[in-house]
Structure 1
Amino acid sequence: MNVNELANNVLQGKQITKEEALFLYEQPLLKLCGSADKIRRHFCANQFDICTIINAKNGNCSENCRFCAQSAHHRTGVVAYPLLSKEEIVAQARSNHEQGVLRYSIVTSGKGLSDPEVDAMCEAIREIREKVGISVCVSFGLLNEQQFRKLKEAGATRVHNNLETSRRNFPNICTTHGFDDKIQAIRAAQAAGLSVCSGGIMGLGETVEDRIDMAFSLQELGVLSVPVNLLNPIPGTPFECNERLTEDDMRRIVAVYRFILPRAAIRLAGGRGLLPDKGKSCFISGANAAISGEMLTTAGITTKTDMLLLKELGYEVKRCNE
């Protein structure tokens, strides 16, 4: 077994095993990343999927996710606010569309939106689709199939719901809902005809095996948009003292993910701004997507800066895996 042999197997359409993924994780970084980028070029060409998010409802979350600044269980100083108005959400969509962004995700805090809140978001989505044209994604928590169907009928195309970590490690991250609640919501969104964006956060205290197990869970779910977040240890959260992962750590993770999920848009997300090169080395190590602009409670990287970087790397901004 070697990196070249496993890469060739993936290029021929074969799936690697968990044991092979663990082997890859220990291989020399440059060899691993070069092979992962070869796989990325084969399956995804030079397509790069870039999206932006709007924090449409902030704070006061009932869930106790140990990494999150928005949890009501932690003292982080985050200012809570209710759902933004339709006008604010549509205006931000238009601004992003004018900057060349092709996906716009509306994100809200909380375990899930109520039916009246879902209806309000449907109105905003309809106006965005009618007056702006940008593709709309939603991240509204643990909704049911009926709610997801309403959102699809309004014009949403994709649902975001991170697994966050492996099944084994999930109870160390959150106890107010479970891994199976996440799976149920993802399957409900898929049953409603929506594509799914799901990944996790690296640096939560997970093992290498946890990282790989999460990737195989995503493979089993058929997820083709996979955010890879780097934990930004927020003061006031239980993880505020977690050691921050390095640029090489993130390169190794996205490279192994490319072997496991060869056709996916592997998306650098939260925490990318903490990397010295803002993710550039990951974009030649298997990653081919990013969240640009502001994050939920932390600063991001401007869309203009990202567009210049993608041009330098020879990428074409395009919606992937619709």
Structure 2
Amino acid sequence: MTDELDILDRARAKALEKGEGLTQEEVLEVLQLPDERIPELMELAHEVRLRWCGEDVEVEGIISLKTGGCPEDCHFCSQSGLFESPVRAVRLNIAELVEAAKQTAKTGATEFCIVAAVKGPDEKLMAQVGDAVAAIQSEVDIQVAASLGTLTREQAQRLKDLGVHRYNHNLETCRSYFPNVVTTHTWEERRETLEYVREAGMEVCSGGIVGMGETLEQRAEFAVQLAEVNPTEVPMNFLDPRPGTPFQHMDVLPVEDSLRAVGAFRLAMPRTTLRFAGGRELSLGDEGTEQGLLGGINAIIVGNYLTTLGRPMERDLDMMDRLRLPIKALNSAV
């Protein structure tokens, strides 16, 4: 067995020099690195993202078109109608979505994502999303993404035709651990939707949540299974235990484990946009977030998330300015 002290040298030769992702066994070695080697890991991950993704950081805002009342039982999610969660069903109108897109664009964001808490979109929701995309594109210079749950092949093509350029459908966790997280649908169903998205010509956005009780072996499995999907973007969430959900009593992932995950995911996917998403405020805090942005992350969601509060947009933008991280301009994204 190769000494674990060699793993970052091997990662340098593979991920940095060739742009090739690490294997599951190699990712596991990275996740098992001792705390004192985290700065070295972060430095290498940063070099990898600069070489294969460039220096720009992509900023995105998200908003929920339909919040709460979801029929699925994702154990981390307070939007499930099956749990005694404080989140209640709410729908936004088109004018509210357009205004939210305008506010997002003012931050310099290149992307605005419309999200709905559903198993999959019905005809009414598809029509509403179509109206929303048209209204936003007529008034705001921003790309529109969507996350509406499981799609049919026809729905994926329709969203592409409506002007949605990127579709998010998270695998959430690795295939082997998924039944511990969701029981109302399968990992394979999620994977199938991603294939429909790719076939339709939309960019594939798929990530998930680390810190839901999975082992390090399963975390490594998850990183490699995401790499196999070949996503344009991977949102990295860290579990924020929500009241009323089955995972409400889980511990928040320690900052060291969170940073190791960031570095490992970057080395598993050298060429992918890796985006900080929900839970970073708890797991990483201000200092850890900065370390992540200088350790492999090259995109960030600003403002609030779907049912949890994020940091004020201005605070994140000030942080990126202080770190001298350029925000990706829209004209370089189209």
TM bracket (short chain): over 0.9
Amino acid at match of 1:7: R
Return closer, same or farther for 1:58/1:208 CA change in 2, 3 Å cut-off.
Answer: same
Indicate if the aligned counterparts of 1:64 and 1:176 stay in contact, CA closer than 8 A. yes
Structure 2: how far apart are the matches of 1:309 and 1:239?
A: 31
Cα distance in 1 for partners of 2:171, 2:230 equals 13
When normalised by structure 2's length, the TM-score is: 0.92
| Structure 1 residue 321, shift from structure 2 partner | 7.3
**2:59 touches 2:300 (CA, 8 Å); kept in 1?**
yes
C-alpha distance in 1, partners of 2:53/2:162? 29
User: How big is each residue's C-alpha offset from its partner over 1:1-23, in whole Å with a ceiling of 9 and x where there is no partner?
Assistant: 33123212222323322211112
Name 2:265's counterpart in structure 1. Answer: 257
1:109 aligned residue: 117
* TM-aligned CA distance change 1:186 to 1:206, over 3 Å: same
User: 2-side partners of 1:314 and 1:8: how far apart?
Assistant: 27
172, 184, 188: which one aligns with 2:192: 184
TM-align CA RMSD? 1.5
Amino acid at match of 1:197: C
Contact 1:264 1:321 in 2 (8 A): no
- What is the distance in 1 between the residues matched to 2:170 and 2:303? 19
Select the residue among 15, 19, 23 that pairs with 1:17.
23
Match of 1:317, SS state, is coil
Do 2:58 and 2:109's aligned partners in 1 also have CA atoms closer than 8 Å?
Answer: no
What does residue 267 of structure 1 align with? Answer: 275
Structure 1 unaligned blocks of 5 or more: none
Correspondence 1:303 to 2:313: yes
The alignment-based identity, stated in percent, is 34
Q: Which has the higher helix share?
A: 2
Could you tell me the TM-score, scaled by structure 1's length? 0.96
- C-alpha distance in 1 between matches for 2:189 and 2:181: 14
Choose which of 146, 150, 154 in structure 1 pairs with 2:162: 154
* CA deviation string 1:249-302 (max 9, x = no partner): 111101011111001111110112223216111111211111110111111112
CA distance 1:250–1:293, change in 2 (3 Å): same
- Map 1:1-322 onto structure 2 (within 5 A): 1-13=6-18, 14-27=20-33, 28-82=37-91, 84-274=92-282, 275-277=284-286, 279-318=289-328
The gaps in structure 2 that reach 5 residues or longer are 1-5
Distance (Å, rounded) in 2 between the aligned partners of 1:99 and 1:224? 22
